[in-house]
Amino acid sequence: MTQPRKIIIDTDPGQDDAVALLLALASPELDVLAITVVAGNVPLPLTELNTRKIVELSGRTDVPIYAGCAEPMDRKLVTAEHVHGRTGLDGPTLPDPKIQLQPEHAVDFLIETLRTTPDVTLCPLGPLTNIATALQRAPEIKENIREIVLMGGGFFEGGNITPAAEFNIYVDPTAADIVLRSGIQTTILPLDCTHNALTTAPRVAAFRALPNRAGPAVAELTDFFERYDKEKYGSEGAPLHDPTVIAYLLDPTLFETRHINVTVETKSDLTLGATVADWWRVTDRKPNATWVRNLDADGFFKLLTDRLATLP
Ligand code: RIB
Ligand code: CA
């Protein structure tokens, strides 16, 4: 096997973030250098607590966790308790974690690590505040970032927090703009892709049937998480957004992509946070991102379930 791919996951758990963390921590192809936490689905004190709970559930207490930005770069925090519940991780009852946060701020950690560690892939699963703040304070770290693979945005599917914008981008459009203009190789898993990764009953039953703690816990996470989207979209399951980022690293052949220009709206009240994806290349704007348009959903859920089965 080639050397494991070095990654840092930036996250705002959130049930779907939790499943993404479990998938990454169960996959030996990935060397999870650290997990950095950002405010998003719920405020930072809860996203960091939720991260520690999930890492403890995975058994991978060797992976350090750093808390980062509690507010977006230049606007008030918008949260999503209506989707994720008051705790941000409603569903299973998980014990209070023993593992503690690292003392350093996540942004300081990102800068120090990326100044000296080459070939690192960043995997943002929430608002891009930590990543953009690090890039703004220390632009030289770009040299050591191999790729940014993020969940965010939407074009053919529109938005989910407003008609035009997806939540991660909407919470901090300025941060998203900094990342998209950074020149760093960036791959985007937008709603166009994740809305095809639905937690249907047979797929959740496969999680629940796993003979370990992680499988049933994931089923309880999705049982809670899917109620909102099933009602909203009238679909047979909820889109399992964030784990698609990790699955893309593990098996990119499951995904349909195109290298295009993606520009984010940072000013208009009506469309703030919209990701304008030039899928048909009708502008002369330079391609700056790989946009993931769709996935093999059965292949994705098989990969996810097989990996969850290897956890305690
Ligand atoms: O719009 C979906 C995204 O927003 C996911 O990352 C979810 O966890 C929330 O952060
Ligand atoms: Ca998230």
Tokens of 155: 């074009």
Residue 231 in this model has a pLDDT that exceeds 90: no
**pLDDT tens-digit profile of 14-49?**
999 999 999 999 999 999 999 999 999 999 999 999
Q: Which residues pair with 260 in a beta bridge?
A: 289
Cα dist. 25→38, 112, 176, 260, 277 in Å? Answer: 19, 23, 26, 31, 31
Burial of 82 (0-12, 13-18, 19+ CB in 10 A): exposed
Number of Cβ atoms within 10 Å of the Cβ of 84: 29
Query: Is residue 245 over pLDDT 80?
Result: yes
Average model confidence (pLDDT) across the chain: 97
| Catalytic choice (82, 105, 195, 241) | 241
Establish whether residue 160 lines the binding site of ligand 1, counting it when its CB lies within 6 angstroms of any ligand atom.
yes
Dihedral sign of CA atoms 153, 160, 48, 54 in order:
negative
If pLDDT is split at 50, 70 and 90, which confidence band does 155 have? very high
Ligand 1 in contact with 241 (CB < 6 A)?
yes
Q: Give the range of the structural domain holding residue 286, as residue numbers without chain letter.
A: 5-308
What's the predicted TM-score (pTM) here?
0.98
**Is pLDDT at 152 greater than 90 in this prediction?**
yes
pLDDT per position as a tens digit, 58-113? 999 999 999 999 999 999 999 999 999 999 999 999 999 999 999 999 999 999 99
pLDDT at 148: 99
Residue with the two structure tokens 């919209």: 274
Identify whether 241 is a catalytic site residue. yes
CA of 208 to the centre of ligand 2 (A): 22
Which residue's alpha carbon is at the smallest distance from atom 10 of ligand 1? 126
Which helix (H) or strand (E) segment holds residue 58: the answer is helix 44-58
pLDDT, mean of residues 152-175: 98
| CB of 242 closer than 6 angstroms to any ligand 1 atom | yes
Give the CATH number of the domain where residue 158 resides: 3.90.245.10
| Number of domains within the chain | 1
Torsion from C-alpha of 270, 162, 183, 34, nearest 10 degrees: 150
**How far away, in angstroms, is 304 Cα from ligand 2 center?**
17
Q: Are 140 and 112 in contact (CB under 8 A)?
A: no
Whether residue 167 has its Cβ less than 6 Å from ligand 1? yes
- Decide whether any atom of ligand 1 lies within 6 Å of the 40 Cβ: yes
Contacts of 282 (CB under 8 A, 6+ apart): none
Report the separation in Å between the CA atom of 168 and the middle of ligand 2, taken as the mean of its atom positions.
7
Res 1: pLDDT = 61
